[in-house]
Amino acid sequence: MTSTTSGPEGSGPTELTGLTASELAAKIAAGEVSAVEVTRAHLDRLEALEPAVHAFLHVDREAALAAASRADEERADGTPPSPLAGVPLALKDVLTTTDMPTTCGSRMLEGWTPPYDSTVAARLRAAGVVILGKTNMDEFAMGSSTENSAFGPTRNPWDTDRVPGGSGGGSSAALAAFEAPLAIGTDTGGSIRQPAAVTGTVGVKPTYGGVSRYGLVAFSSSLDQAGPCGRTVLDTAMLHEVIAGHDPMDSTSVDAPVPKVTAAAREGATGDLRGVRVGVVREFGGEGYQQGVRDSFRAAVDTLTSLGAEVVEVSCPHFEYALGAYYLIAPSECSSNLARFDAMRYGLRVGDDGTRSTEEVMSLTREQGFGPEVKRRIMLGTYALSSGYYDAYYGQAQKVRTLITRDFEAAFAQVDVLVSPTTPTTAFRIGERVDDPMAMYLADLCTIPSNLAGNAAMSVPSGLSAEDGMPVGLQIMAPPMADDRLYRVGAAYEAARDAASEVPLLDRVPRLEVA
């Protein structure tokens, strides 16, 4: 199976799988290589590597090749639907697809194929992007390690004893393992950015409402946001433009032009950040952060300064309450959003043997269909919304949310973007935090404020931590609908980082042992 694709280094990327999405798109557009060839190369590689990585829950080889073939035909007809036509992609299994199951990493939806496409999936298809399959995730996007998947954890390609982050660890691992050049994630508290940080890839949580949530199986509706993931800032920008834009099916979708993110990425790549004001969030990156993360962050800030950016320190005093507010708001919404999984209409049904009442079947199904973390959050949220507790918990959390939004507004009055480490540590070991929910929750400490405020944020790789050789991420945050600033600053930083290094970062991903 691996013979045609494994290079001389065993399981290193082939000529095609080693290319970026923009390079692949250019070659396909120029007729140098067909979308089918590109797709086949990625399918072959992922089939070889999946036993070691387990990034995917579902791969549909035939459907992917058929989509690639259509992209080739459209190119031959002179009507390629988008700049990314024919480029393969890994789709997080929380976005509905009519041709593949959508499980959200849960037993509850095992084998369920939705009757409708999410807007994100529909836009990808319309753009000629080839969906290889659906990626693994923490159950219903609740977690920071992908260990909460009912179908087993995904492993970090940099060190398969470590987690790839979460909840979108499948998407980030697929990118880092060169199984796909592009991926889609969703980010409720950091589920795009934290996995990107710990796998050395790029991930963007667009402005809330920037990408339609229609067909994104809801965890926390007021926080959930789908976004693009890639190995480079430019690739991520190109994908961003394919999926973003107003959708009448999502009332919370922003009805405004999509920020010109690809142009911003190209501009940023010139390496000039003069006139750009960068704020370092004082509250993040100190005590409790891994030394390698702090060192990497300090170096990244120096790099931004060297590119001409004006760097200042900015205080966001309410960010320290963000985690607490998040763990009231997100579980509250989740307790309601996940109520529909009741065995009546779709998905798992347990104990319907003719002797049990409807309520008993619902109860048994939910008991057996949900994993412990999902149950924990449903219980937390049910409690927080209960009569007599609402004001003290949900109500207070909403007030904190307002204060955090004001912190951002005050900060963005002074600076164009804010920066911080994406996550306090590098990838932790599988099993290390499963019995300590609080330790797990801390992984999203720096990413949560942007979900609460609804602004745009990116994680871009900032090198490797000296202690463990694992990737570190730099978080860049921008005001709502100023997503283009992320790409300009991110691309400038990325170019400087690679220029300073002998080997491009991702070329340092270890060669995986193929089972």
Partner 1 sequence: MTAVAEIMDYDEVLRRFDPVLGLEVHVELSTATKMFCGCANEFGAEPNSRVCPVCLGMPGALPVVNGTAVESAVRIGLALDCQVAEWCRFARKNYFYPDMPKNFQTSQYDEPIVFDGGLDVVLDDGEVFRVGIERAHMEEDTGKSLHVGGATGRIHGAEHSLLDYNRAGVPLIEIVTKPITGAGERAPEVARAYVTALRDLLRSMGVSDVRMDQGSLRCDANVSLSPKGSGEFGTRTETKNVNSFRSIERAVRFEMRRQASLLVNGSEIIQETRHFDESSGETSSGRRKEEAEDYRYFPEPDLVPIAPSREWVERLRGTLPEMPWERRKRVQEQWGLSDEELRDLVNASALDLVAATVDAGAPPSEARSWWVAYLSQRANERGVELAELSVTPAQVARVIELVAEGKLTHKLARQVVDGVLDDRGDPDEVVAADGIEVVSDDSSLQAAVDEALAAQPDAAEKIRGGKVQAAGAIVGAVMKATQGQADAKRVRELVLAACGQQ
Alpha helix ranges (H) inside 415-474: 437-441, 448-453
Q: What sign results for the dihedral spanned by CA atoms 349, 350, 355, 358?
A: negative
Residue span binding partner 1 (CB under 8 A) among the ranges 31-39, 379-387, 401-409, 496-504 = 379-387
277-281 vs 202-205, strand pairing mode: unpaired
- Our finding on whether 355 is near partner 1 (CB under 8 A) is no
- Our finding on whether 2 is near partner 1 (CB under 8 A) is no
Beta carbon of residue 358, minimum distance to partner 1 (angstroms, whole number): 6
Q: Name 95's bridge partners.
A: 216
Q: Is 306 a catalytic residue?
A: no
Backbone angles phi, psi at 4, to 5 degrees: -75, -20
CB atoms within 10 A of CB 406: 13
Q: Which residues contact 302 (CB under 8 A, 6 or more apart)?
A: none
Residue span binding partner 1 (CB under 8 A) among the ranges 112-120, 287-295, 302-310, 315-323 = 112-120
> Which amino acid is it at 191?
S
Beta carbon of residue 274, minimum distance to partner 1 (angstroms, whole number): 39
Residue span binding partner 1 (CB under 8 A) among the ranges 1-9, 293-301, 330-338, 473-481 = 330-338
Which of 6, 167, 220, 450 is an active site residue?
167
Beta carbon of residue 354, minimum distance to partner 1 (angstroms, whole number): 9
Q: What gap in Å lies between CA 285 and CA 278, rounded to an integer?
A: 15
- Our finding on whether 385 is near partner 1 (CB under 8 A) is yes
Q: Is 220 a catalytic residue?
A: no
Please calculate the CA angle 212-213-219 and round it to the nearest 5 degrees. 160
- x/- map, 83-102, partner 1, by CB under 8 A: ------------xx-----x
Beta carbon of residue 251, minimum distance to partner 1 (angstroms, whole number): 5
Q: Is 450 a catalytic residue?
A: no
Q: What gap in Å lies between CA 383 and CA 391, rounded to an integer?
A: 12
DSSP secondary structure code for residue 156 in this structure: B
**Contact, 204 vs 458, CB < 8 A?**
yes
Among 235, 241, 333, 494, interactor with partner 1 by CB under 8 A: 333
Task: Please give the structure tokens belonging to residue 498.
Answer: 């690679």
Of residues 215-274, those binding partner 1 (CB under 8 A): 215-218, 220-222, 248-252
Task: Please give the structure tokens belonging to residue 382.
Answer: 């049910």
In angstroms, how far apart are the furthest CA atoms of the chain? Answer: 73
- Our finding on whether 506 is near partner 1 (CB under 8 A) is no
**Contact, 309 vs 399, CB < 8 A?**
no
Identify which of residues 218 and 264 has a Cβ nearer to partner 1 in the complex. Answer: 218
Beta carbon of residue 104, minimum distance to partner 1 (angstroms, whole number): 7
Beta carbon of residue 386, minimum distance to partner 1 (angstroms, whole number): 6
Q: Could you give the residue numbers annotated as active site?
A: 92, 167, 191
Give the binding site for partner 1 (CB under 8 A): 95-96, 102, 104, 109, 114-116, 118, 213-218, 220-222, 248-252, 332-333, 335-336, 339-342, 344-346, 358-359, 362, 382, 385-387, 390, 394
